[in-house]
Amino acid sequence: MVLCRGSSTLVVRHRRMRRVDLKRLLTDASRRRLDALRAQNYAALLALPNQRSEAIHGTKAVVSTYRDALGKGRLRIVVRGVLPGWLGFAYVRVQGFTVDPEGNVVPLPKDALRDFR
């Protein structure tokens, strides 16, 4: 942490976030994205691109959204957060749901999310 005095204010800047704080940041960003997607209607979810990724500002963490069409008009929506680690390991957070044309939302079980880990 670096303390800087500028005019009459004290500014606190972090040189480097702790890994646990980065994981919390990634988890929160993934949860917010998933909640925002759950709140959208079927037509808005259908209009999403098949895959979209965003880096979390100031970190190496990435939150990706996937949309797949399933049978009978159902959509699978998955949010995947990845925080790269060392030696090829990474912290990965994956959650998702399915939605049908009537707007019924069903959370995806963990075994349905294995392909995204």
Q: Tens of pLDDT along 36-83?
A: 999 999 999 999 999 999 998 778 889 999 999 998 899 999 999 999
Tokens coding 82: 């990845």
| pTM for the full predicted model | 0.79
| pLDDT tens readout for residues 1-49 | 444 444 444 333 444 667 788 888 889 999 999 999 999 999 999 999 9
Range of the domain at 25: 19-116
| pLDDT tens readout for residues 7-18 | 444 333 444 667
Handedness of CA 58, 92, 32, 71 (dihedral sign): positive
What is the tally of structural domains in the chain? Answer: 1
CA distance 5 to 39: 43
- Residue at 12 is within a domain: no
- Residue at 23 is within a domain: yes
- Residue at 39 is within a domain: yes
